[in-house]
Amino acid sequence: MPDALRQLPPVDALAAHVDAPRAIAVAAARAVLAERRRELLAGSAADADLAARVRAWVAAATAPRLRRVLNATGVIVHTNLGRAPLAASARDAVARAAEGYSNLELDLASGARGSRQEHIEDLLCALTGAEAAIAVNNCAGATLLAAAALAGPGREVIVSRGQLVEIGGGFRVPEVIAQAGARLVEVGTTNRTRRADYARAMGSATGAILRAHPSNFRQLGFVQEVEIEELCELGVPVIDDVGSGVLADELELLREEPAVRRSVDAGAALVCFSGDKLLGGPQAGLIVGRADAVAAAWAHPLARALRLDKLGLAALEATLQLYRDPDRARREIPVLAMLTVADDVLRTRAERLAAAIGPAAVIVEAVARVGGGALPLLELPGPAVAVAVEGLGADELVARLRAADPPVVARIEEDRVLLDPRTLADEELRLVARAVGS
């Protein structure tokens, strides 16, 4: 054993086997040598190709951690996979904004300092009917900022007990109100809240009423809630967190999600919603509503901490531009296209994928989902491709797919691996088929 340890090569000699910057090569050599010493001390006598290990270490260390994956799960707004894929025009806008400098906060006409919100405010107002609008980095931040701006220290926020939900990674409505510095006032019961409950709770300390979208939580049966129009008649500012950001409210599929324009028309002071769910854009939290309320939000110190960067603004502006033409939005925004894709298109896509995979594939009927906390009860029936590879269990096969380049993420149902064509683009089918056979 001492002889084997003495025979290990020097760090520099081993690092010379890889074509990489010296610092990376040396780090790789040290890591591989340390690993080999542990093996020898544990009694391993097997030969080890240390040079190959160094090259593999460098390849792994320098490969991008954030990678493109192929979504074959059938979950359209998949939180773990980055939620909404961007439209081509939004991707182009990001590339232009990233290429060099931009007029992020410069008024090109006057040469004076401008506002980053000017790039999206007019669009949001035109699409929602609001008097003013701003964008921050996500919807949770938008709701926090709205509560802090309209209520804040010493004020109260009234919320129905049925809406004191937790969504996402620990986003709890009571804690958000506490972080805004306001005091929570609960009204109603878990399953039924009436207009009179809100009215009795209102007083001189009331800063706002918050209506919180329950996301992927639903109550069925003996339930009652107050509609946004009635809340806005009570005479105090209403913050309406509508969640997923439905601007395509003409789509029948989306009728169960609260439409942004409806809340604006009802008179909500601030309406908060996501940019990266059903709206189909980048991660963003959008706030629209009355000019005085939006101005109060933008003037709050939290606004700077939550502001959206230039790449997000570029993608958001391009996505909103598509909504000026509803038909174009349905064609070009991937989320809307996946929701409304024709049955015959899905069937053709499934047939192409099954044919490319070969005898291991068979077309079955399945159900896709919206995901992202939106429309949890909505089922999207359609074809999927079930795959079985001899000698591999379902868990082993999905692991192989995730290890492909690019990785393919599938789902397992009834011990079968399913590849759903709804969330795959036509040009991705060949890559998925290759991953199955790799």
The answer to whether 213 and 159 are in contact (CB under 8 A) is: no
Q: Are residues 314 and 343 in the same domain?
A: no
Structure tokens at 393: 């269990």
Structural domain harbouring 27 = 2-62
The answer to whether 310 and 93 are in contact (CB under 8 A) is: no
Residue 225 has what pLDDT?
92
Q: Are residues 400 and 273 in the same domain?
A: no
Residue finishing a domain among 298, 332, 366: 332
Q: Are residues 267 and 363 in the same domain?
A: no
Tell me the three state secondary structure of residue 238. Answer: strand
Residue 247 has what pLDDT?
94
CA–CA dist 299, 192 (Å, integer): 36
Q: What is the pLDDT of residues 75-118, one digit of tens each?
A: 999 999 999 999 999 999 999 999 999 999 999 999 999 999 99
- Domain tally, the chain: 3
Q: What is the pLDDT of residues 263-300, one digit of tens each?
A: 999 999 999 999 999 999 999 999 999 999 999 999 99
Bridging pattern class, strands 270-274 and 285-289: antiparallel
How would residue 122 be classed by pLDDT, with cut points 50, 70 and 90? Answer: very high
Rg (alpha carbons) of the chain, rounded to whole number:
27
The answer to whether 106 and 238 are in contact (CB under 8 A) is: no
Residue 169 has what pLDDT?
67
Omega prior to 406 cis, within 30 of 0: yes
- With a CB cutoff of 8 Å and minimum separation 6, the contacts of 408 are 69, 70, 72, 401, 402, 419, 431, 432, 435, 436
Residue 221 has what pLDDT?
86
Distances (CA, A) of 116 to 1, 158, 160, 304, 315: 66, 32, 35, 11, 13
pLDDT, mean of residues 224-230:
95
Q: State in Å, rounded, how far the first CA of the chain is from the last one.
A: 40
Q: Are residues 261 and 159 in the same domain?
A: yes
Residue 227 has what pLDDT?
95
Q: Are residues 341 and 328 in the same domain?
A: no
How would residue 1 be classed by pLDDT, with cut points 50, 70 and 90? Answer: low
Q: Are residues 300 and 349 in the same domain?
A: no
Q: What is the pLDDT of residues 314-371, one digit of tens each?
A: 999 999 999 999 999 999 999 999 999 999 999 999 999 999 999 999 999 999 999 9
Q: Are residues 372 and 327 in the same domain?
A: no
Residue finishing a domain among 297, 332, 367: 332
pLDDT, mean of residues 188-215:
94
Which of left, alpha, beta for 198 (phi over 0: left; psi -120 to 50: alpha)?
Answer: alpha
Q: Are residues 231 and 353 in the same domain?
A: no
Q: Are residues 264 and 126 in the same domain?
A: yes
Bridging pattern class, strands 183-187 and 206-212: unpaired
pLDDT at 72 over 70: yes
pTM: 0.91
pLDDT at 395 over 80: yes
Q: Are residues 326 and 352 in the same domain?
A: no
> Is the four-CA dihedral 298, 299, 305, 311 of positive or negative sign?
positive
Whichever domain contains 102, its CATH number is 3.40.640.10
Q: What is the pLDDT of residues 137-177, one digit of tens each?
A: 999 999 999 999 999 898 999 999 999 988 766 788 999 99
pLDDT more than 90, % of the chain? 84
- Mean pLDDT (the chain) is 94
Whichever domain contains 376, its CATH number is 3.90.1150.180
Q: Are residues 424 and 327 in the same domain?
A: no
CA 234 to chain centre: 34
Helix (H) or strand (E) holding 187: strand 183-187
Residue finishing a domain among 332, 353, 384: 332
Candidate from 160-174, 236-250, 373-387 with smallest mean pLDDT: 160-174
Helix (H) or strand (E) holding 28: helix 22-41
Beta-carbon-side half-sphere exposure of residue 13 (alpha carbons within 13 Å): 6
The answer to whether 343 and 221 are in contact (CB under 8 A) is: no
Q: Are residues 326 and 374 in the same domain?
A: no
How would residue 377 be classed by pLDDT, with cut points 50, 70 and 90? Answer: confident
